[in-house]
Amino acid sequence: MLMPKKIHHCVNVILVWISIIFISSYVAGQPGPVKNGHFENGVVVCASAYGAQIGADILKQGGNAYDAAIATQLALAVVYPQAGNIGGGGFMVARNAKGQIQALDFRERAPLKAFRDMYLDSNGAADLHKSQDGVLSVGVPGAVAGIFGMYKYARLPFEKLINPAIELAAKGFKITAAEAALLNRFKKDFERYNDYPVAFVKKTDWQQGDLLIQPELAATLKKIRDQGASGFYQGETAQSLVETVTASGGIIGLKDLDGYQATPRTPVSFDYHGYQIISFPPPSSGGLLLAQMMGMIAPFNIDTMGFLSAKAIHIMVEAERRAYADRAKYMGDPDYFQVPEKELMNQHYLAARMKDFNPQKATPSSAVNAGNVYEHNETTHIAVADNQGNLVSITTTLNGNFGSRVVVKGAGFLLNDEMDDFSAKPGVPNMFGAVGGVANQIEPGKRMLSSMCPTLVLKKGQPYMVVGTPGGTTIPTSVFQTIVDIIDYGKTPGQATEAPKFHHQWLPDQIMLEDGLPVAVTDSLVQMGYALKTVNGIGRTEIILFDQKAGGKASPGKIGMQAAADIRGDDSLAGY
């Protein structure tokens, strides 16, 4: 129904004032971070306190979880430039209040001029520098198409969702100590890949509390606000992107941008101990890996083994090893390669994969191949839930920190280096050490295989959990362990995010693990034959867990939600 003009005008004036009040407080100072909280109306968890606050304010202003997720994602493109983006891509899994599920693929695509051996040198060796840095590493961005794909389920005017991001870009925001350190660390790269001034470089070192102002990005966001997706994929923005890339030998053309579409997919859905797990299908490996790992451990009654005991870790790692061996052979963009999804998730197949599991010993990866079936990690996650039962789980990325480090000249946004997620050459590891073959070889227009794993868990059809994390190939294993920690060990979201994570991806044949496991546990793992490699941090997991009433049903009307933002970074949450 159309509103009379006068009322419409009054409503707009009120909305503008509300926005100004909220925006002034964003620019005044960095809120948070808040790591844990319990809410009854809605909550947003993400990598930045600004992003969480903006999303929560949208919920308070009558937006649903989709509105909040879009506003947060746009805010992260400004305040979390190392991974939040409009020049990258990602995946969304969501459930609306009617119980309908959506899986939206806005992954980057290979440019039309891309070809299989484009990263091989004259000796046939893979030149990973080219696939990881600079203009040749850039895939055709999908983020903006994704945002407008999600917007179909939102309810507020689009300008309300994007204005906070525009203001933060135009007026600046105060950076944290970690952000200052990161910008300083990448200064040389920014200078190397951009022969023009960019907002991320200043003469002196960045300090905590400095204002990062991005006027060119603000202007680009305004074009998106006023022209929709065409403000990015056509006209001046598209022209600037193509000129920036081709000036240094890149291959993205206007046709690549104009032809980009976000693609709805059928989500991966499976049962684990009476819970329905819903996650992302190929071109991400995340959902299938999760289904495989959970399917392999399901018969083992892991809850009877101690939490983070050597026995439990051993079983989980062997499931991880076998699933990742399948990833290397069978997973790729389903529009180009027939991924045997059903077969890879089949219970008999998964039981057979664990037949050679030895409870006393590690199985060497040299003895594990893909099964026979017929037929740096910078990314960021947003988890949102509202009191209507809308759940949104989005993982988005530029791939490496600040992606290719190329900033589009005059348009102020960073471009991804997602082409490195393809298999540049069979058996040659990418930046995450992942290997691949034909399934994930480069082809024009194809989407590179991802590990992103935005996930929802339902119990008896009711909301139970929203979960996801960054971390390259470690993403599915972190989500796997988080779900097991909560479902099988009864941990709270805070305990699950804090728990040390461990990761095995078949090759290299080692467990990557965080500090924090008792020495007795790591000693046992070494005795079983595992090589251990301690790493600084695995993932940054964001979790929303719904309160359960007797009988396992979330309480109708007022649905309590316990949320946790990961302790490993500036991650934060906000709700009411």
127 known ligand binder: no
Q: Is 214 in the site for ligand GLY (CB under 6 A)?
A: no
379 as an active site residue: the answer is: yes
Question: Which residues does 9 contact at the CB level (< 8 Å), separation at least 6?
Answer: none
**253 φ, ψ to 5°?**
-115, 170
**Among all chains, which residue has been given the structure tokens 């899986």?**
103
Among 53, 137, 263, 379, binds ligand GLY (CB under 6 A): 379
Among 30, 363, 404, 450, binds ligand GLY (CB under 6 A): 450
Span near ligand GLY by CB under 6 A; candidates 22-30, 197-205, 448-456, 503-511: 448-456
Q: For ligand GLY, which is the closer residue by CB, 53 or 396?
A: 396
- Show the CA angle centred on residue 373, arms to residues 352 and 303, nearest 5°: 35
State the number of binding residues for ligand GLY (CB under 6 A): 9
Q: 384: which strand partners?
A: 44, 392
Q: Per rule CB under 6 A, is residue 64 in the interface with ligand GLY?
A: no
Cβ within 8 Å of residue 323, ≥6 positions away? 288, 289, 292, 293, 296, 476
The answer to the question of residue 404 lying near ligand GLY (CB under 6 A) is: no
- Share of the chain residues as helix, strand and coil, in percent rounded to the nearest 5: 40, 20, 45
Both structure tokens of 336? 């180009």
**Residue 321 marked in a binding site:** no
CB 282 within 8 A of CB 332: yes
Which helix (H) or strand (E) segment is 272 a member of? strand 268-272
- Please state the closest distance from residue 55 (CB atom) to ligand GLY, in A: 23
Among the listed ranges 148-156, 167-175, 382-390, 446-454, the one in contact with ligand GLY (CB under 6 A) is 446-454
Name the strands in the sheet holding 462-468, side by side, starting at the edge strand that comes first in the sequence.
36-39, 561-564, 542-546, 462-468, 455-459, 275-279, 268-272
Does position 481 interact with ligand GLY (CB under 6 A)? The reply is no
Residues 280/452, Cβ–Cβ less than 8 Å: yes
- When asked if residue 472 is in the footprint of ligand GLY (CB under 6 A), the reply is yes
**Contact criterion met (CB below 8 Å) for 384 and 42:** yes
Q: Is 397 annotated as a binding residue?
A: yes
Answer yes or no whether residue 216 interacts with ligand GLY by CB under 6 A: no
Question: Residue 399 interacts with ligand GLY (CB under 6 A)?
Answer: yes
From the CB of 420, what's the least distance to ligand GLY, in Å? 8
Q: Does 452 bind ligand GLY (CB under 6 A)?
A: yes
Contact range with ligand GLY by CB under 6 A, out of 158-166, 226-234, 349-357, 444-452: 444-452
Crossing angle of helices 49-60/5-28, nearest 10°? 150
CB of 104 to ligand GLY, least distance (A): 15
Residue 36 annotated as part of some ligand binding site: no
CB of 525 to ligand GLY, least distance (A): 26
Among all residues, which ones are annotated catalytic?
379
Contacts to ligand GLY by CB under 6 A: 379, 397, 399, 418, 421, 450-452, 472
